[in-house]
Amino acid sequence: MELLSLTYALMTLGVAFYFFVKWRYNYWRSRNVVTLEPTFFFGNLRTPKGKYITLVDAIVNAYKAAKAKGERYAGVYMFVTPQFVPLDRELIRSILFTDFDHFVNRGFHVNKKRDPLSANVFNTSDNEWRNLRTKLTPAFTTGKMKMMFERVLECTTGLEEMLKERSVAVDIKDILCRFTTDVIGSVAFGLEFNSMKDANIKLRKYGDYTFENSWRKRFSIFLENTFPTWFINIVNEVGFSSTKKEIETYFVDMIQKTVDYREKNNVFRKDALHLMIQLKNTGRVLGDDEAALKGDNENVTGGITMNELAAQAFVFFVAGFETSATTMTFALLELAQNPVVQEKLRQEIKQTLKQNDNKLTYESLLGMEYLEKVISETLRMHPPIHRLPRLCNKDFNIPNSDLVIKSQTQVLVPVLAIHNDPEYYPNPEKFDPERFSKEAKASRPSMTYFPFGDGPRNCIGQRFGKLQAKLGLCTVVSNFNVTLNEKTKLPIEYDLITVITVKGNVWLNLEPLKK
């Protein structure tokens, strides 16, 4: 009898779930919003023919469907959750700038107790985000980047030596990930890891874990896009978090030991960690000197805790490690297929070096206009973040429309779709750095380029990301002629779980240039 009752209960729940999902999939249609036909439970992550696709494909498909009908917005379903996709540039401006108070947050879950590394400036919400952003912004000014420049430049020596030791054909993605591991390790954690010589160091391994397409990452994304915060907190309490426990332990312990050592021994180093220590001990970022290395100041107001410091260092590593390596990988892949562009860039680098006693300076790096164009076009074609997530925190009536974006609706600004829209970028599949000449940029409408986001929640570390990417490219292009290796499969495919990367390895031929 009990088994029969349980069977009836499960059947009832199954039927109720079925009708709930069918009802949910009427959300956009009932509001006259263009959307593609969802597949049961998977929404637009699976086509009606049964093919599984990524969220980036789902957004691009919805963008094209709405664009073809002349609509200003579209809707997609992430599993059973409806999400809003704006197309109209003025609407996007409204979301990112004008009506930012309706879209302050990204909608990511934070649990300081169970997942302390989640409490970083990228994830946090409302006043907690505002306070963190205000405190951290002075650490990423042009002056602070200039302070850290020498640290990044030192790592290019290891990159050059490693490439010269290798055979002509190299897995460039792997090598550049090692380079950015050393850079971020030095700047964010104040430690020398030397992953150029040892690919098995823990920092590199845990960096790969963070971006791997694992069941944990997929389940975490499913939770974020399907269930409310109170339910996710329950899941966290029973032991699940988006960050592996061993990764959390490693990063928190490493930061704690490094900070303790510096404070006890009055060690000063021109890096981001020094600025974070200042923030912890004084509540603000000071000058580039040896101030604020005294710890244990209980009377400090506005400072950050050790766990908060570790969370910011962690997100600095995560954001800088993969995205910069991926940007350089894509840039070299495009340069290998466009030798004229590559040679033009090489000549600019050589001329700059000649004018500066064969040394790169911070000012000379910023002065290379063609290098800036190459980076910009790479980020246009292959933006690391394919969409900008924003969570509507209070009902928003779209101007000149009857549609209301309801509170708690996830909004996805379609970065990759806009970057590849022929209306804004004719022949978008062509790699053309001249799209970012002063004249071309002036003639192009605004709200059509978002490699680092836009508005108050743009990427706080974009200056540093471009700094290390530029130095890495200068090192490779000034020393080697880059061509495609036959092992590289074209056209490339994207591997997407958190950021856009190349699926598989990218093999390039690096032929040493005569000096």
Binding-site residue positions for heme: 459
CA geometry: angle at 446 spanning 440 and 447, to 5°?
125
- Other C-beta atoms closer than 10 Å to the C-beta of 446 total 11
Name the β-bridge partners of 75.
35, 84
> What is the rounded CA–CA span in Å between residue 405 and residue 398?
7
H/E run at residue 217? helix 215-226
Long-range contacts from 453-456, C-beta under 8 angstroms, 24+ separation: 453/96, 453/385, 453/388, 454/96, 454/97, 454/388, 455/96, 455/97, 455/100, 456/97, 456/100, 456/133
**Which amino acid belongs to residue 245?**
K
Question: The tokens of 445 are what?
Answer: 């409408």
H/E run at residue 365? helix 362-366
How would you class 58 by CB atoms within 10 Å of its CB: exposed for 0-12, middle for 13-18, buried for 19 or more? buried
**Cβ–Cβ under 8 Å, residues 279 and 304:** yes
Which residue ranges are tagged as binding site?
Answer: 459
> What is the rounded CA–CA span in Å between residue 293 and residue 23?
59
**Cβ–Cβ under 8 Å, residues 468 and 152:** yes
Name the β-bridge partners of 410.
83, 391
> What is the rounded CA–CA span in Å between residue 10 and residue 469?
54
> For residue 124, which of 499, 497, 457 has the smallest C-alpha distance?
457
Three state DSSP letters for 249-278: HHHHHHHHHHHHHHHHHCCCCCCHHHHHHH
Residue reference for tokens 């899941």: 235
3-class state of residue 93 by DSSP: helix
CA geometry: angle at 92 spanning 88 and 93, to 5°?
115
- Other C-beta atoms closer than 10 Å to the C-beta of 160 total 17
The distance from CA 192 to its chain's CA centroid, rounded to whole angstroms, is: 24
Q: Are strands 81-86 and 410-413 parallel, antiparallel or unpaired?
A: parallel
Residue 199 per-residue DSSP state:
T
